[in-house]
Structure 1
Amino acid sequence: MPGLFLGLEMGKRALMTQQLALTTSGHNVANAATPGFSRQRVVISQSNPLNTTEGNIGTGVSVSGVRQVRDLFLSTQLRADSGKLARWETSHKALSQVELFFNEPGDKGLNQLITDFFNSWENLATNPNARVTVLEKSKVLVNAFHEQANQLADLRESVDADIKGRTSEINQLAVQIASLNRQISTAELGGDSANDLRDKRDLLIDNLSSYASVRTIERSNGTAAVMIGSMSLVDGVDFLQIETKTIQRGSSTATVAVWENTNFEIDFAGGEIQALEQMRDSTIPDMQKDLDLLATTIIERVNAVHAAGTGAQGSTGINFFDPYRLTAGTMEVNIDVESDPNLIAASITGEPGDTRNAQAISELRYQRVLQSGTATINEYYASMVGTLGIRTQEAETLKDNYNLLVTQLDNARQQVQGVSIDEEVTNMIKYQRAYEAAARVITFVDSALETVISGMGVTR
């Protein structure tokens, strides 16, 4: 039959178990507001019974370990949707910035300035002395094209620099994750779970998922592999670094991310970097091409009519705009015309009162010369701005949708792994009472042992 010393052992186990449970609850409370912290719980179970002739007798309580409370599915889904949220937040921010460049609708927007330009020619048709006004409106229009072209080019350079910065941050995260993998592997050699280190690693992976789409695989030794596309950014204690190379794309340069010591371009497939790459390689170049086409159309159409007309002093065959500067960023009024407004060809015949050429130029605005003959110059520009507005609205809608989804997923995850102060305090009271009861058991057993031991020396 088990002796009193078994009672002491059971009391000691109970004390140590409740003390560990109290410590764990205190740790939970202390980290209730710590980013990335997962609630921990002590895994308590009955210890193996003692087999005696009288039957199996309980031996008290045992601790299997301290485990994180996590939901792997929610964490994986949250990372995926957080990456999508980051992508659309970045897209919306960049597109909104482009919208500000175009300043539409507005009296200083390009649409109004194009209208003012053609209105000045219409005014010249009724007032032959309005040549200076035509020049002024033309220069304002040219400067507006320059400004928008420069703003788009500057934004593209800024986005390119952002991509380089994001890849540098990914490299830093890779080093930190690999370091934590090493620490976790070492800490868990004895079978314990390195919960706090795992929380730190998971938080880093969460941060990484905002830059690119990632997959994670946990190895048997507790380390994690982090994949971007088909390549392992981190696998255990090993990691790859991302290099950036500058290449020529069209008339400008671009930063390309490749795996170190290779020319293999990385497909980030989500997150901020995908949005930035799409902005740099597609959205901004498309806007630049549209703006250049608009400028080129105005230059060539006006020049064709102007060169066929006659200036105030009989000059003919003169281009109004410089025919060799055919982009939004380079277009200029012909320097000869700018120096001598009398070269402006308002007339067809050169006869006094003939301003039909000025009228013909003013009416260019009504000709459907763009989009395969379906759009006027102003309509084409309005279509550009409208398409930009649709893209911006789409990005905002998706941003709001994913923000709501991420919030719901995060709330669901917090329900599982977040710390409830009320619950932890209740548990601490429960553990405290159990600790006090275990202490009383030890006291009772000690008293019984004292009685037995002191009685062993009594004789008649």
Structure 2
Amino acid sequence: MSNLLATGSSALLAFQRALSTVSHNVANINTPGYSRQRAEFEARAGTYTGYGHQGNGVQIVDIRRMADSLATSRLLDAGGELSRLQQLSVLSSRVDTLFSEAATGISAPWSGFFDSVSALSSNAASSAERENLLAQAKALVTRFNQIDKHLDGLNDEVNKGLIAGVDEVNRLANEIAQLNGKIGSNANTASGDLLDRRDQLISQLVSYTGGTAVTQDGGQINVFTAGGQPLVVGTAASKLVTTSDPYRPERLQVALETNGQRTTLGQNGLGGQMGGLLEFRTTVLDPAVAELGRIAVSLAETFNAGHAGGMDLYGQLGGDFFSIPSPKVSAHSGNSGDAVLQPALGDLSALNGQNVLLRFDGSNWLATHPDTGAAIPLSGSGTAADPLVVNGVELVLASGTPATNDRFLLQPTAGAAGAIGVAITDPSRIAAATPVKAAADLANIGSGKLSGLKVTDAGHADLLTPVAIEFIDANQYTIDGAGPFAYSAGQTISHNGWSLVLDGAPAAGDSFNVSANGTNSSDNGNANLLANLDDARVLNGGTTTLNGAVSGLTTSVGSAARQADYSAEAQLVIYNQAQAARDSISGVNLDEEAADLMRLQQAYQAAAQIISTADNIFQSLLSAVRR
């Protein structure tokens, strides 16, 4: 009878605990990272009665946490990569929107500016057209400045994201290390809820840094960044800090601080959200800033050169239409020398906008790509007579002396779009006219007609000096009596910084005069040239037009945003599959839990009936004894 009571009691206790486990599962169905738990039953050791072993009921030997390390690891990897790609996609899409929308992009004011130049070429003397040209130029410059400011704002957001990420990573790493200590050297005896909490924290940590989690013997987990740097080892947590870029203090980097030493973690050393921030800054933001600056500088340089070849309403040669900032050179904070490099724009067709790392090896200057370390062609010695020339930029050692291994970062066009401006305010200073004019003598008897008069060297000292061209015969001519010079039909005649072409055939005695245009000229020759500069092939070795560069920038930014979006969508599918695989093992299923509740409830009632039966037997025995 006592055995019957003990058996029933053990069943009641076991089923009660199993029911508690099922209710715990149901209660945590919406708890992130919760792993379903299951009560493991085992028969209690039987008692030998002489004729055999008699059972003594049941007991709970374990509350098993339903988890699979492989499924958890897959979900961890997929989650870190998804965080990286989503961060990259969101920020890249914002840059794409900035360039592609008519209200914020460069295309609309760009077209408006060149349309106004074209309108001026149709009516060069009109004050209204001149005012409109200046207004459109200011609108274009303002748009360049605004876009550059927005891009600077994105860089600030990256900095803030890194600061917030570092704080959160340090908090998570410390808590994981503490949980490692609580779990101790045997994870098999640890609370399933404690293990779930640790896994959830590791998942959050990896979503910031990417990387992996490695389980030690005994159950403690070590966490490493995507680049293999340790964040948590046993009960010790490393610390991340933000540091200033040695060339650009306004830009933050992430470093791992260990024993007083700091190891900088670049985009290859970090994944997750922080890796996405660094990757966005390196692969999308920086190239966009540099290319926007290259376009702004190229437009200004090309237009200034064309404008210098014209004459304004005051009869003066055109000066700079746009103000152009110089390239940036930043010394490394650790330089021991006092050298100062002065940069200036050189060959526009060689300007590519890419940053260049300059290093002095003790006797020579070397140029490399700051991210890859690839060598970049560099010529010159750095003197005023022989400047350093790299990627269309000329640099002169303005003062000081470089020490061995001193380094400088050259940014040819970064930030240039934010500093470009309109250099003139007086509409009459717009040089729409060709500085010189040509006329045929009224007594000419040949069929030669003037065409194609243009300025080839606006800086020539004798550009505005009157010149007479006289033909000795159809094949020879003189210039102010000098010569004779051979002539063939259609030949270009050049002198004093100008050139012209004659259509037809001049006859002996024919003469043509070239002289300065003068004040208040309605000539539109230079305006016609300026109106077509957007199609001038001045970039990439003379293969790309300014219009092509604007379209290329919009396309490249859009392509990067779409690629990031596609990658994020694909990774989301992989993540959902990993989540489903994990949930199939660890997730709580209400139908399954309901079935377990009913089954265990029935078992509990049956166990209670056993105890009731034992009680009835005992009462019957007592009644028999009383008689």
Q: Is the deviation greater in 215-224 or in 296-305?
A: 215-224
Equivalent residue letter for 2:180 = N
Equivalent residue letter for 1:87 = R
Q: SS of 1:346's equivalent?
A: coil
Q: SS of 1:265's equivalent?
A: strand
- Tell me what 2:319 maps to: 318
Q: 1:317: how far off? A: 5.0
Q: 1:193: how far off? A: 3.3
Please give the alpha-carbon distance, in whole angstroms, between the structure 1 residues aligned to 2:13 and 2:325: 87
Please give the alpha-carbon distance, in whole angstroms, between the structure 1 residues aligned to 2:199 and 2:623: 59
- Tell me what 1:412 maps to: 581
- Tell me what 1:275 maps to: 276
Q: SS of 1:43's equivalent?
A: strand
Q: SS of 2:61's equivalent?
A: strand
Contact residue 307 and residue 317 of structure 1 kept, 8 A: yes
Q: Does 1:113 align with 2:109?
A: yes
Q: Does 1:126 align with 2:125?
A: no
Equivalent residue letter for 1:48 = A
Compared with structure 1, are the counterparts of its residues 11 and 108 closer, same or farther at alpha carbon in structure 2 (3 Å cutoff)?
Answer: closer
Q: Does 1:430 align with 2:429?
A: no
Equivalent residue letter for 2:283 = S
Match of 2:242 among 219, 240, 244: 244
Structure 2 matches for 1:278-289, cutoff 5 A? 278-289=279-290
Q: 1:33: how far off? A: 1.7
Q: Is the deviation greater in 24-33 or in 110-119?
A: 110-119
Q: SS of 2:222's equivalent?
A: strand
Contact residue 180 and residue 234 of structure 2 kept, 8 A: yes
Q: Does 1:328 align with 2:417?
A: yes
Q: 1:384: how far off? A: 0.8
Q: Indicate the structure (1 or 2) with the bigger Cα radius of gyration.
A: 2
Please give the alpha-carbon distance, in whole angstroms, between the structure 1 residues aligned to 2:40 and 2:249: 64
Contact residue 41 and residue 69 of structure 1 kept, 8 A: yes
Please give the alpha-carbon distance, in whole angstroms, between the structure 1 residues aligned to 2:326 and 2:113: 18
Number of aligned residue pairs: give it.
449
Compared with structure 1, are the counterparts of its residues 242 and 140 closer, same or farther at alpha carbon in structure 2 (3 Å cutoff)?
Answer: same
Q: 1:412: how far off? A: 2.9
Q: 1:91: how far off? A: 1.0
Contact residue 211 and residue 228 of structure 2 kept, 8 A: no
Structure 2 matches for 1:91-240, cutoff 5 A? 91-104=88-101, 106=102, 109-128=105-124, 129=126, 130-185=129-184, 192-228=189-225, 229-240=227-238
Please give the alpha-carbon distance, in whole angstroms, between the structure 1 residues aligned to 2:120 and 2:249: 38
Equivalent residue letter for 1:131 = R
- Tell me what 2:483 maps to: none
Identity among equivalent pairs (%)? 29
Please give the alpha-carbon distance, in whole angstroms, between the structure 1 residues aligned to 2:611 and 2:103: 88
- Tell me what 1:366 maps to: 535
Please give the alpha-carbon distance, in whole angstroms, between the structure 2 residues aligned to 1:432 and 1:150: 68
TM-score, structure 2 length as denominator? 0.67
Please give the alpha-carbon distance, in whole angstroms, between the structure 2 residues aligned to 1:254 and 1:438: 67
Q: Does 1:307 align with 2:304?
A: no
**Going by fraction, where is helix more abundant, 1 or 2?**
1
Q: 1:329: how far off? A: 1.0
- Tell me what 1:6 maps to: 3
Q: 1:425: how far off? A: 2.2
Q: 1:154: how far off? A: 1.4
Match of 1:403 among 550, 568, 572: 572
Please give the alpha-carbon distance, in whole angstroms, between the structure 1 residues aligned to 2:565 and 2:103: 26
Please give the alpha-carbon distance, in whole angstroms, between the structure 2 residues aligned to 1:193 and 1:244: 36
Compared with structure 1, are the counterparts of its residues 429 and 287 closer, same or farther at alpha carbon in structure 2 (3 Å cutoff)?
Answer: same
- Tell me what 1:440 maps to: 609
Q: SS of 1:54's equivalent?
A: coil
Contact residue 164 and residue 255 of structure 1 kept, 8 A: no
Please give the alpha-carbon distance, in whole angstroms, between the structure 2 residues aligned to 1:455 and 1:96: 90
Please give the alpha-carbon distance, in whole angstroms, between the structure 1 residues aligned to 2:585 and 2:103: 55
- Tell me what 1:255 maps to: 253
- Tell me what 2:71 maps to: 74
Q: Which has the higher contact order (CA 8 A, sep 6+)?
A: 1
Please give the alpha-carbon distance, in whole angstroms, between the structure 2 residues aligned to 1:27 and 1:361: 78
Q: 1:220: how far off? A: 4.2
**Going by fraction, where is strand more abundant, 1 or 2?**
2
Unpaired stretches in structure 2, ≥5 consecutive residues: 328-415, 437-516
Please give the alpha-carbon distance, in whole angstroms, between the structure 1 residues aligned to 2:249 and 2:193: 51
Equivalent residue letter for 1:197 = L
Per-residue CA deviations over 1:136-161 (Å, capped at 9, x if unaligned) read 11111111111111111111111111
Per-residue CA deviations over 1:263-306 (Å, capped at 9, x if unaligned) read 21235442111110012233211111101111111111111111
- Tell me what 2:427 maps to: 341
Equivalent residue letter for 2:130 = R
TM-score, structure 1 length as denominator? 0.91
Contact residue 240 and residue 254 of structure 2 kept, 8 A: no
Match of 1:23 among 5, 20, 23: 20
RMSD: 2.4
Q: SS of 2:60's equivalent?
A: strand
